[in-house]
Amino acid sequence: MIVWWIVLAVIALGVIALVVRSRRQRRLSHVVLEPERAPMPEVLVTQIAPRPEIDDSPGLDRRLASSRSIFERVRSISVHGALAPEQLDVVEEVLLRSDVGVATTTALLEELRANGAPDGVAAAIRAALMSSFSADRSVRTSADEGRVPVWLFVGVNGVGKTTTIGKLAWHETQAGKSVVLAAGDTFRAAASDQLQLWADRTGADIVRATEGADPGSVVHDALGRAQAHHADLVLADTAGRRVNNANLLDELAKIRRVADREPGQVVETFLVLDATTGQNALSQAQEFLAAAEVTGIVLTKLDGTARGGIVVAIERELGIPVKFVGVGERAKDLLAFEPAAFVDSLLSA
């Protein structure tokens, strides 16, 4: 209970107090001796550490080619295609470099060892990865009779939630649907303005409020508007939030409840995930799943050098399917997720 936290803090602070006190005393005795602060040097960087060489990590195929002769020999020995350690090393390296993560990589390598590789390592690892993507990735666009379908977008800061909504608004309006955007990010400066520009571009309707307004009420108003105008879909933005703060997650859960109340119905909750994110993405997915019942992932910024391998771990462990990928800044640069293409790109990392 709280008292114990206080005790803990008191003891710690007591220790710290002693340190602080002794520091202060020392400082007092030194104060006379200390010379005027020397002028700052003009040099900007005092010393440059040598740059370590980074392997250029060519594609799996090329790397495997070098060990192919070994592999051929291995295959001629065993019908089941036992794997040479150096081949596994190559696979491990490729997977780790794609942010698949240590645990998942180890698990995949185990599978590989157990099943062997009758058709080659590349094919085997490809099959193992493909089997990770088994969830249903259809996208729900319709709600129960009389209710307005809502897509809710959640995620940490800077992953591209607002941009993703803009792109999806474009897709949906292109498909002839009437869309209402709810500018639920009332925290980040000018986030509503950013969404407004997308609304202008796509012809979607938008409901926004002033900075600092209650995001729940924005969503609520958007639902009212959507119902009044018989809109087909509401896309609700939320502020980026870190997941190690329960208050922020509670707020999100509340927004979701508001969006799911009559006349609204949340039919998809998308976790927007940045492909450059490392292992933290897994804890993001866990927390957002718990707080907002995430039904799908939008993996953004896949057009860079990042592979976004962490979604393998997320789909394997949490069963959240990736539904869209973002591959650029233009509205068109949002595609439905295709496991095969994704796996190929992972392995060519």
Binding to other proteins (CB under 8 A) within 46-105 occurs at 46-55, 93, 96-99, 101-102
CB of 241 to other proteins, least distance (A): 9
Using the minimum distance from each CB to other proteins, give the nearer residue, 47 or 138: 47
CB of residue 209 to other proteins, shortest distance in Å: 15
The size of the interface with other proteins (CB under 8 A), counted in residues, is 91
Binding to other proteins by residue 254, rule CB under 8 A?
no
Place of tokens 């999806």: 168
| One residue of 181, 275, 322, 346 binding other proteins per CB under 8 A | 275
DSSP class per residue in 279-329: THHHHHHHHHHHHH---EEEEE-TTSS---THHHHHHHHH-PPEEEEE-SS
The CA-based diameter of the chain, rounded to the nearest angstrom, is 82
| Part in contact with other proteins (CB under 8 A); list of ranges 58-66, 135-143, 227-235, 300-308 | 300-308
Nearest to 151 by CA among 238, 261, 234: 234
By beta-carbon proximity to other proteins, the closer residue of 243 and 320 is 243
Q: Which is nearer to other proteins, 200 or 262 (CB)?
A: 200
Interaction between residue 22 and other proteins (CB under 8 A): yes
198, 270, 324, 342: residue in contact with other proteins (rule CB under 8 A): 198
Minimum distance from CB of 106 to other proteins (Å)? 9
Footprint (CB under 8 A) of other proteins, residues 174-193:
187-191, 193
Q: Which stretch binds other proteins (CB under 8 A): 20-28, 67-75, 120-128, 340-348?
A: 20-28
Nearer to other proteins, 310 or 343 (CB): 310
Geometric angle at alpha carbon 335, from 333 and 340, rounded to 5°: 130
| Using rule CB under 8 A, residue 334 touches other proteins | no
Residue with Cβ nearer other proteins (26 or 140): 26
Kindly report the backbone phi and psi dihedral angles of residue 150, in degrees, each rounded to the nearest multiple of 5, phi listed first.
Answer: -125, 135
Tokens of 268: 């998809």
According to the binding rule CB under 8 A, does residue 158 interact with other proteins? yes
Task: Give the three-state DSSP class for 151.
Answer: strand
How many angstroms separate the CA atoms of 216 and 257, rounded? Answer: 9
Q: Which of residues 233-252 bind other proteins (CB under 8 A)?
A: 242-247
Task: Assign 183 to helix, strand or coil.
Answer: coil
SS3 (DSSP) at 154: strand
Query: What does the angle CA 269 – CA 275 – CA 276 come to, to the nearest 5 degrees?
Result: 135
194 is an interface residue for other proteins by CB under 8 A: yes
- Report how far residue 144's alpha carbon sits from residue 292's, in angstroms, rounded to the nearest whole number: 20
Candidate list 149, 160, 215, 339; residue touching other proteins; CB under 8 A: 160
CA–CA separation, 260 and 258 (whole Å)? 5
